[in-house]
Chains A and B, each alone.
Chain A
Amino acid sequence: MDLLSNLALGFATAASPENLLFCLIGVILGTLIGVLPGIGATATIAMLLPITFQLEPVSSLIMLAGIYYGAQYGGSTTAILINMPGESSSAVTAIDGYQMARKGRAGTALAVAALGSFFAGTVATLLVAIFAPPLTAVALQFGAAEYFSLMVLGLVSAIALAHGSILKALAMVVLGLLLGMVGTDIYSGTPRFTMGITEYADGLNFVALAVGVFGIAEILRNLEGEQDRTVLGAKLAGLFPSREEFRRMVGPVLRGTGIGSVLGILPGGGAVLAAFASYTVEKRVSKTPEEFGHGAIEGVAGPESANNAGAQTSFIPLLTLGIPANPVMALMVGAMIIQGIVPGPNVATEQPALFWGVIASMWIGNLMLVVLNLPLIGLWVRLLKVPYHVLFPIIMAFCSIGVYSVNSNVYDLYAVAFFGLMGYVLIKLKCEPAPLLLGFVLGPMLEENLRRAMILGRGDPSVFVTRPISAALLVLTVLVLVVVLLPSIRKKRDEVFVEAD
């Protein structure tokens, strides 16, 4: 069995003592920052990204993946305990989780979230292992035109799932693409948009942009209305769900895993949609729908499983095609490029240890989360009581050190301040920053493939529609756009996101 030997290689890589250690550090750090209210997975990874650059590529990606699950898990803890979701995907958890906490069942809610997530993570990891190789084989047939069309599809789908105005999200993607153009032109060597600053000749630093737009902008937003928050669940007695509660969570966990796995593969932040879809489904199939919103255990178990399964399967497009499905995956692409790995179908064949090691580490990371976090919940609760005004200067100091340590380029620090301001302005103008980051990462790849396709097609743009795969992808893109812009769907979409706010 190919799959078995591959998985064996993966586990051998991921279970080496140092990789286990980095996975552990990643999971703990991710949870630590993810627990902080208002800071979701994306901001957490953006801020912790620089730490991983000193490591080997495999260890670095394993640690990043660990940070990702940790942050997601930490986000649910915050959602349950103080009703303040760090990320829209845990907004659903907050609805019933917080109500459970108010009834003194915080411990159970956290345990249900952890167990559901672990089950979903296990199934989804297996799915990644099964589906990644065949997709890689398909991806190897791709030429420049196909890649261009695929990226266009990815960018457009990302918009479909962004909050708020579609037009603004489209504009944000284009702005991100333009920011990605800053730096030296690969074909002619001409510096572009650097304003004469030679330090920007290699392009704007991806870490600086991510830290600024996500991390610093978040801090500024949290400083707007400084208020004390009440932490629930002083007593966390009764951590483990009762037999009856176990029985009630099986169905939602299974359904959530299925929904999450499918939606996660779709480009455009599947985890959020997965959580909402699961909540809606559970409410519909439940015999006691009136319990939802008042602490229904199904309302925690389903969405938490869905969101974790989605988080996991969103690695599939990244690992097979090198195309990020959501902002977190965009951060992973940035990390891979800095490590000298070109994301794409070749990773699986050229670096099997890395490819399978990362997949195996997903499962190990999830296991660590369950084993570690259930006993550590008390610690996270205490962390929530640390006042914000003590935390953010620490975060600022580490961000500064981290960004500087990537290239020892002081101009990156100026870029952080600029993007922090820009990110804050964007929040104020109700523009979602995620499409910007996606555009920024894909910008250079998009341009390179466009130019290459045009050269191969002798300047005839019809190459994009005469090659079948490329044409199919473009048709899909148009379909996505049409569907998103249809008035009825638009209304549904607004409703979903209104519930989130």
Chain B
Amino acid sequence: MKSYNIDRTDAAAGGMFILFGLFFGVQALGLELGTAFRMGPGFFPLVLAVVLILFGALIVFNAVKAAPGAEAPGAIAWRGLMFILPAPIFFGLTVRGLGFIPSIFLTTLIAGLASLKMRPLHAVGLAVAVTIFSTLVFSYALGLPFRRIGPWLSF
């Protein structure tokens, strides 16, 4: 008997769908299901969750008997993940406290660090430019209701 070739990408994708299905399915069970006549809030999500789990299982099943020579997923942008994803979170955490101007400056700076090619000084310069531009456009011209300098910085 020949050894199985598992398409790892597909297996992982299937696994992910199963996990998502379980996540929604378990919570849907806690909601009122109702009847087919008057469906409760949990009815449709539960059906969908079960379908998703079934699809996930099918994908995993297909992955196990998949054709050999499945390619590797390739490089992963670790540095990008480390700096890009925190940027909007940081903006969310500080936009009210620090105020718009310092918050967008630091957000741009954090995002700028995601590339190896960005020299620190250039990143600061870019962040300054973005800050000036967006303060003028979004805060003054479009009049979005941002506090430019937040309560954390006013003494």
Determine chain B's interface SS by DSSP, over half rule. Answer: helix
Contact residues of A between 201 and 230, Cβ < 8 Å to B: 216, 219-221, 223-226
Type the 1/0 row for B43-61, where 1 means its CB is closer than 8 Å to any CB of A: 0110011011001101100
CB distance from A486 to the nearest CB of B (A): 17
CB of A477, distance to nearest CB on chain B (Å) = 15
Chain A contact residues, majority secondary structure: helix
A-B contact pairs, 13 of them (CB 8 A): A171-B13, A174-B55, A178-B20, A193-B24, A220-B84, A223-B84, A404-B91, A412-B92, A414-B88, A417-B87, A425-B16, A454-B39, A459-B38
Collect the chain A residues with CB atoms within 8 Å of residue B122's CB. Answer: 390
> Which bucket holds chain A's interface residue count?
35 or more
Query: A-B pairs with the 3 shortest C-beta distances?
Result: A459-B37, A413-B92, A185-B41
Contact B130 A178 (CB under 8 A): no
B29 contacts chain A at the CB level, 8 A cutoff? no
Out of B38, B56, B89, B118, which one reaches A413, CB within 8 Å?
Answer: B89
Does B98 belong to the interface (CB within 8 Å)? Answer: no
- Please name 7 further chain A to chain B contacts, defined as beta carbons within 8 Å, in addition to the given A393-B130, A421-B81, A430-B10, sorted by A numbering: A174-B55, A192-B42, A400-B91, A404-B91, A416-B88, A429-B12, A451-B39
Which residues on the A side are within 8 Å of B114 (C-beta)?
223, 392-393
> How many residues of chain B have a CB within 8 Å of chain A?
71
User: Taking CB as reference atom, which chain B residue is nearest A387?
Assistant: B117
Residues of chain A within 8 A (CB-CB) of B89 are 413-414, 417
Q: Answer whether residue A396 sits at the interface, using C-beta atoms and an 8 A cutoff.
A: yes
Assess whether B104 is in contact with A411, with CB atoms less than 8 Å apart.
no
Q: Is the CB of B80 within 8 A of A188?
A: no
**Bound CA–CA A392/B56 (angstroms):** 34
Given A223-B84, A413-B92: A188 in contact with B41 (beta carbons within 8 A) = yes
Q: Indicate if A349 sits at the interface (CB-CB under 8 A).
A: no
Q: Does B35 contact A (CB under 8 A)?
A: yes
- Chain B residues with CB under 8 Å of A296's CB are none
Q: Is A498 an interface residue (CB 8 A)?
A: no
Q: Using a CB-CB cutoff of 8 Å, which residues 346-397 of chain A contact chain B?
A: 387-390, 392-394, 396-397
Contacts of A392 in B (CB 8 A): 84, 111, 114-115
- Chain B residue at minimal CB-CB distance from A177: B48
CB pair B75 A399 closer than 8 Å:
no
CA distance A398 to B111 in the complex (A): 11
Contacting residues, chain B, for A425 (C-beta < 8 A) = 16
A337 in contact (CB, < 8 A): no
Per the bound structure, the CA–CA distance linking A171 and B57 in Å amounts to 10
Among B45, B59, B80, B92, which residue has its beta carbon within 8 angstroms of that of A165? B59
- CB-nearest residue of chain A to B71: A430
B9 at the interface (CB under 8 A from A): yes
Say yes or no for B79: interface residue by CB 8 A criterion: yes
* A167 interfacial contact with B, CB 8 Å: yes
Interface string of B130-147 (1 = CB under 8 A from A): 100010001000101100
Are the CB atoms of A429 and B9 closer together than 8 Å? yes
Asked whether B76 is an interface residue with its Cβ less than 8 Å from the other chain, the reply is: yes
Please judge, given known A-B contacts A405-B144, A413-B89, whether A397 and B107 are in contact too, CB under 8 Å.
Answer: yes
A167 touches B9 (CB 8 A): no
- The residues of B that contact A389 with a CB separation of less than 8 Å are 112, 115, 117-118
